[in-house]
Amino acid sequence: MVTLVNEDIQNLTDEEAIERIKAHKKELGKDLLILAHNYQRYEITELADFTGDSLAMAQKGKENKDAKHIVFCGVHFMAQTSRVLASENQKVYLPNHLAGCPLSDFAEIDQAETAWEEVSKIVGEENIVPVAYINSTVLIKALCGKYGGTTVTSSNCDKVFTHYFNQGKKIFFMPDQHLAHNTALKLGVPREKLNIFDPYQENGGLSVEKIKDSTVLLWKGFCHVHTHFTPKMVQDMRQRYPEASIVVHPECPEPVVREADYAGSTKFINDFVAQAEPGATIIIGTEINHVRNTAIRNPDKKIIELDRSLCPNMFKINLKNLLFTLDHLGNVNEVFVKDEVKKDSIAALEKMFSIC
Ligand code: SF4
């Protein structure tokens, strides 16, 4: 689906677009819920009814039963999750359907089905569980639901891993290798028990013995926004700002996490800044709009980016395509998920809620 923005909107100034968006909000009242991810442009977060991480946004949609129209300012997999959790009488929209996620695209459903078949046959289905990071397509979540697995977020990944480790189960994790690697190491899993599964190779490029000996199999995927950061960036910033705390997201590679003072989810970063003393200097290694929004909302603290790393897909949502969606509400940019996929992905999401 191609997103259209007509000429009338194209020629508007930002101020004019904002006024028209506000007029729609006023007219629609509780029928409309605008949700924005933390990585959105500041002006979008200012217009949103709620700003948060992907799961919190999807839950907001579910809780707000009055909202007939949920406009989701984020990327495609997030809007899919919102669609899955929303009720039948709610419509979910994504202002730009080209806002995808390269991380979620790393795990394609055909490859994932084949991989699961290979791995579960080698170790026995009762000994391993498929786990999908929330940053995955609805089809990958559905695969996990179908085979008794779950989803995780970066805030609850350690709880979910602990839950399965306590049952003596191995984890087949898709699609972000770094979140799984950092979490498992934090929980004390030996490095040699964490093995990268390359879906382009038979058995992931691993021997049968290696698969049997693994505690976590890590799908070979990553978020380019977070792998942009390097240990050298952390070292340089530490030298420039010796008084600063350095906090990074767990989608960063392990050497970066090791070099930083703290690593945690988007919510962890928000809470960390909120709880810091006024005047504190905090260097943040995550998406640049999140860092900038955090700096604007915490003027009593000195917030600095570890480096500039933009998510170009999050950036595809703007005032004009948001306005276009509102001008044509009900007719453009709606997100759909097939019923059979919905059922299995809900099973995976529900499993996560029951564990956490
Ligand atoms: S920041 Fe990374 S995981 Fe998030 S939407 Fe962008 S590419 Fe995907």
Residue 101 Cβ contacting ligand 1 at under 6 Å: yes
Of 227, 311, 316, 317, best ligand 1 pocket probe by most atoms within 8 Å of the beta carbon: 311
Mean pLDDT, residues 96-118 taken together: 97
CATH of domain 7-100+314-337: 3.40.50.10800
User: What's the pLDDT score for residue 65?
Assistant: 85
User: What's the pLDDT score for residue 30?
Assistant: 95
Residue 252 Cβ contacting ligand 1 at under 6 Å: no
CATH of 229-305, one of 2.160.20.10, 3.30.70.1710, 3.30.428.10, 3.40.50.10800: 3.40.50.10800
Query: 92 C-alpha vs ligand 1 centroid, how far in Å?
Result: 20
User: What's the pLDDT score for residue 4?
Assistant: 64
Q: Do domains 7-100+314-337 and 104-224 have the same CATH topology?
A: yes
Looking at every residue in the chain, the average pLDDT score rounds to 96
Class of 104-224 per CATH? alpha beta
Residue 179 Cβ contacting ligand 1 at under 6 Å: no
Mean pLDDT, residues 57-78 taken together: 90
Question: Which residue is closest in CA terms to ligand 1's atom 2?
Answer: 223
Distance of CA 205 to the CA centre of its chain: 27
pLDDT band at 2 (very low <50, low <70, confident <90, very high): low
Of 314, 315, 316, 317, best ligand 1 pocket probe by most atoms within 8 Å of the beta carbon: 314
Across 1-10, 48-57, 241-250, least confident range:
1-10
Residue 225 Cβ contacting ligand 1 at under 6 Å: yes
Distance of CA 183 to the CA centre of its chain: 16
Taking the CA of residue 312 as reference, the ligand 1 atom at the shortest distance is: 6
User: What's the pLDDT score for residue 158?
Assistant: 96
User: What's the pLDDT score for residue 160?
Assistant: 97
Report the percent of the chain where pLDDT is more than 70. Answer: 99
Distance of CA 349 to the CA centre of its chain: 14
Residue 135 Cβ contacting ligand 1 at under 6 Å: yes
Question: Which residue is closest in CA terms to ligand 1's atom 6?
Answer: 311
pLDDT in tens, 195-241: 999 999 999 999 999 999 999 999 999 999 999 999 999 999 999 99
pLDDT band at 275 (very low <50, low <70, confident <90, very high): very high
pLDDT in tens, 14-66: 999 999 999 999 999 999 999 999 999 999 999 999 999 888 887 887 788 88
User: What's the pLDDT score for residue 57?
Assistant: 82
Q: Domain segments of the chain: what residues? A: 7-100+314-337, 104-224, 229-305
The residue behind tokens 């999908």 is: 132
The contacts of residue 281 (CB under 8 Å, 6+ apart) are 241, 243, 244, 245, 301, 302, 304
Overall pTM surpassing 0.85 (yes/no): yes
Q: Are 152 and 160 in contact (CB under 8 A)?
A: yes
User: What's the pLDDT score for residue 22?
Assistant: 98
Cα separation of 39 and 264, whole Å?
A: 15
The residue behind tokens 């996620």 is: 101
Query: 231 C-alpha vs ligand 1 centroid, how far in Å?
Result: 20
Distance of CA 23 to the CA centre of its chain: 30
User: What's the pLDDT score for residue 55?
Assistant: 81
Residue 79 Cβ contacting ligand 1 at under 6 Å: no
